[in-house]
Copies of this chain bind each other. A is one copy, B any other.
Amino acid sequence: MAESHHVLIVDDDGETRELLARYLGRNGYTVSVAGDGDEMEARLAQDPPVDLIVLDLMLPGRDGLDLTRAIRVRSSVPIVMLTARGDDTDRIVGLEIGADDYLPKPFNPRELLARIRTVLRRAGRSPDSLPVQRNRLRFAGWEIDLAARDLVSPAGVNVPLSAGEFDLLAALVEHPRQVLSRDELLDLTRGRVAAPFDRSVDVQIGRLRRRLEDDPRDPRLIKTVRGGGYMLAAPVEAA
């Protein structure tokens, strides 16, 4: 894989910051974070150099537009601006003063990833980092190819999974014999945090079990840890 790009996230909300940092990190980027303009400036002055900035429009003190203008005085580093939905004016102003793209909130982290890739590609910084061409793992007789997104049963049959089921299984397989909380699983699979009475993970786990377990009532592969979360019980090895 080519050398990873360095992305700087500037947002005053710590949770958003952490979430994006983890999400982008998982997807091959080196990530730094800053909570305001001063932290951003400090980070920009350091090594390694920043390849792209994700900048929240609404910030305490100097806002995103101010900061963009300030950056543009001395640098052409690509900027992706996060804006409140429906505020076309700000978006256009943002682009005019030098942002390279914008993304209305709330957004899907995947979408941000796509924009970042596009902007970096257009900026011609370096060729797209090559995706992992091969990433196969084996557990309890099953074989999963994380790159091709398919799953083969011990009997050798290809088992179709929905996108959500696959993501969930991938998260478990990448952390074998480790209890993952619902929050962690949501973060790993959807890049979001849990809502108050969020049961979506439980339901998806149920659906996954129906496809993987001989007897979904007595799960051997995906175990429940009461008060903790779920875990993949089998050991995982490279295939």
- For this chain, the copies found in one complex come to 2
Q: Of the listed stretches A45-53, A107-115, A201-209, name the one at the interface; the rest are far from the partner chain.
A: A107-115
Tell whether A216 is near chain B: CB-to-CB under 8 Å.
no
Taking CB atoms, residues of chain B closer than 8 Å to A155 are: none
A-B contact pairs, 19 of them (CB 8 A): A22-B72, A22-B98, A23-B96, A23-B98, A27-B122, A28-B124, A92-B106, A92-B108, A95-B109, A101-B110, A110-B227, A111-B181, A114-B183, A131-B178, A148-B234, A148-B235, A149-B233, A163-B227, A164-B226
Q: Of the listed stretches A35-43, A55-63, A217-225, name the one at the interface; the rest are far from the partner chain.
A: A217-225
CB atoms of A176 and B76 under 8 A apart:
no
One digit per residue, 1 when the CB lies within 8 angstroms of any chain B CB and 0 when it does not, for chain A 5-35 equals 0000000000000010011011110000000
CB distance from A227 to the nearest CB of B (A): 6
CA distance A156 to B63 in the complex (A): 59
Taking CB atoms, residues of chain B closer than 8 Å to A110 are: 95, 101, 179, 181, 227-228
CA distance A114 to B114 in the complex (A): 17
Tell whether A195 is near chain B: CB-to-CB under 8 Å.
no
**What is the size, in residues, of chain A's interface with B at 8 Å between Cβ atoms?**
67
Q: Which 10 A-B pairs have the closest CB atoms?
A: A163-B226, A148-B233, A133-B235, A147-B177, A114-B181, A131-B178, A131-B177, A1-B124, A95-B109, A163-B225
A binding-site residues for B, Cβ under 8 Å: 1, 19, 22-23, 25-28, 72, 76, 78, 91-92, 95-96, 98, 100-101, 106, 108-111, 114, 117-118, 122-124, 128, 131-134, 147-150, 158, 160, 162-164, 175-181, 183-184, 187, 218, 220, 223-229, 231, 233-236
